[in-house]
Amino acid sequence: MLESNIHAGRQEVGIAGAIQLEKGISITDGCISFESTVQVIEELASAVRTRRELVSASSRSLLKVLRVRYRTDPRVVPIVLY
């Protein structure tokens, strides 16, 4: 899990309370900055696209192999992939 905020880091709530807090920095858990969040999401989206392309290409290759085997070997049971 990642937590993000406007600025990275976290801050303590001191005796003065909210008066000394900086806007956009967490007071609970450490967070990554908005800029870092954008970069992480873009990298994740790129990885998902790559993975989907690989799985799709791999599935097409597997189906071709199964079709050829089914035509040439009656012991091979056809399968349905969704």
Ordered per-residue pLDDT tens for the chain, 82 residues: 889 999 999 998 887 777 788 999 999 899 999 999 999 999 999 888 888 888 787 777 777 766 666 666 666 555 554 4
> Which pLDDT value is given to residue 17?
73
Specify the pLDDT at position 15: 79
pLDDT of residue 37: 93
Which tokens in the block code for residue 65? 């192999």
In Å, how far are 5, 29, 44, 45, 68 from 57, measured between CA atoms? 38, 41, 20, 18, 17
Which of 30, 37, 80 is CA-nearest to residue 59?
Answer: 80
C-alpha dihedral sign at 35, 40, 41, 43: positive
